[in-house]
Amino acid sequence: MTDTTARHPFDDALELETLSPGLYLGRTSAPYNNMVGPFGGLTAATFLRAIERHPDHLGDPVSLTINFAGPVTEGEFEISTRAVRTNRSNQHWYLELSQDGVVATTATAVFGTRRETWNDAEASPPSVPAPSEVKAGGFPDFIAWARNYEMRFTAGALNEEESADSTISLWVRDFPSRALDFASLTSMCDIFYPRIFQRRGKYVPAGTISLTIHYFATSEDLAKQADSYVLAHAHSRRFNRGYFDQSAELWGSDESLLATSHQVVYYKD
């Protein structure tokens, strides 16, 4: 029998202790370790959770930019949050993650309240088989964080063959099952392994420098999504002199665009 009272590992990983107003203490989580340091998606989600915990926060996330200035080592860290300006419908934030007084990661965010307006969507989701028609796959066992997700690749599964393009598509959801919220959506925006691995068909040193997420989902959209699969789709435009970009889209089970993300990644090859 499943213990429905047990906390989800993702929520354990996001646990923050309030040290003073706007200052929080967190700890890295071994189940969300990457090849080097913690999974970047979890770090991004922790920044978002810190704002959500702040008593002065307004509305829901509109955008989040994370700059990975240096490595985050295992152990405790502090996140400082500051609302630099609050307007009538949006709020601007600055955040820092530090360890032993050294800043490892910075972030800016915009939160806001959404109102009824004219709406339209020009983007459309990629045409892919339904999750039930795709076998579950994943990453090698030594990439710990990937074990926290159920992945069903429709394009770009990790292998040792060079590829002519960098396009990747997969159905994904938390494992064990967990209802989608803004924190887990944030983490999923970094679900993709480095595009250079796909192009070169091998592991090379690589890491995200800056990640920006734009949120389109509302709280109501996430409630409708519940724990259903999210369709994640990404590609790069250019690999050049040690840096490449990545643009991604995350789609809900009802084919609504939940979020987009954009990042720049360094590599050595």
For residues 251 and 231, the answer to whether their CB atoms sit within 8 Å is: yes
Burial class (CB in 10 A: 0-12, 13-18, 19+), 64: buried
The pLDDT confidence band at residue 40, using thresholds 50, 70 and 90, is: very high
Average confidence score pLDDT of the chain: 96
> Looking at the predicted structure, is the pLDDT value of residue 4 above 90?
no
> Looking at the predicted structure, is the pLDDT value of residue 33 above 60?
yes
> pLDDT tens across 105-115, in order?
999 999 999 99
Residue 231: strand pairing partners: 171, 251
DSSP H helices, the chain, are 9-13, 40-53, 182-188, 195-200, 219-225
pTM of the entire structure? 0.96
Interval 120-142 mean pLDDT: 95
pLDDT on residue 87: 96
> Looking at the predicted structure, is the pLDDT value of residue 227 above 80?
yes
Q: Which residue reads 């994640």 in tokens? A: 232
Helix (H, G, I), strand (E, B) or coil at 185: helix
> pLDDT tens across 170-215, in order?
999 999 999 999 999 999 999 999 999 999 999 999 999 999 999 9
pLDDT on residue 1: 41
For residues 68 and 60, the answer to whether their CB atoms sit within 8 Å is: no
pLDDT on residue 2: 46
Q: Which two tokens stand for residue 197?
A: 């691995």
> pLDDT tens across 47-95, in order?
999 999 999 999 999 999 999 999 999 999 999 999 999 999 999 999 9
Percent of the chain exceeding pLDDT 70 equals 98
Burial class (CB in 10 A: 0-12, 13-18, 19+), 167: middle
Interval 35-44 mean pLDDT: 95
Percent of the chain exceeding pLDDT 90 equals 96
